[in-house]
Chain A
């Protein structure tokens, strides 16, 4: 069974640009969540989608947005990039929203903003 797939693996962008990251969950998983990992702030929750609906959102500015498609694939978008957005962005999926089963994480997209 294929795991969570994130593309691209690495991305270099310039301040002010925007970026879209993609996540394909494990087949059959309907919940997809996104996390930002930085050395300074650690792992922080961005948002969670279930059946194309955003169910939870973390404390990030509106420049961070996401969506989920009918096949459960998800994208997140960051507009007007800032240097502080440089991070590893992790996508995770689970069978249902409720988390009695663990999240399965992808390998992440490492975003560097210059």
Chain B
């Protein structure tokens, strides 16, 4: 059974500091996705990582994929309040997304 593990599950960030969310998965997958969900809202796609070594950046967020280690990281640079949300990673070895439990991020002043 495919397992997707995120850590930490809860992250309290201080504005201006850097943080990393980790996503480990248990089976081979060349595709990994990061999504953001605001409270009461739907999921918004952040990144699609399609190959080993892929790195994508958007604003203060940068995601990378190491398929050999079965690990993806979501790095947050200089956290700001707008980044408060729940972040999910997901993999799809069989064309059906399996999600991690999510990392709930709160940014405090």
> B-contacting residues of A (Cβ < 8 Å)?
33, 35, 42-45, 48, 55-56, 58, 90, 92, 97-108
**What A residues does B41 contact at CB under 8 A?**
107
Interface size on B, residues (CB 8 A): 22
> A-contacting residues of B (Cβ < 8 Å)?
31, 33, 35, 41-45, 48, 50, 88, 90, 92, 94-102
Closest to A90 in B: B42
Q: Which of B33, B35, B96 contacts A56 (CB 8 A)?
A: B96
Query: Do residues B42 and A99 form an inter-chain contact, with CB atoms below 8 A?
Result: no
**What A residues does B33 contact at CB under 8 A?**
99, 102-103
Tell me whether A100 and B31 are in contact in the complex, defined as CB-CB below 8 angstroms, given that A90-B42, A107-B42 are known contacts: yes
Q: Which of A99, A104, A105 contacts B92 (CB 8 A)?
A: A99
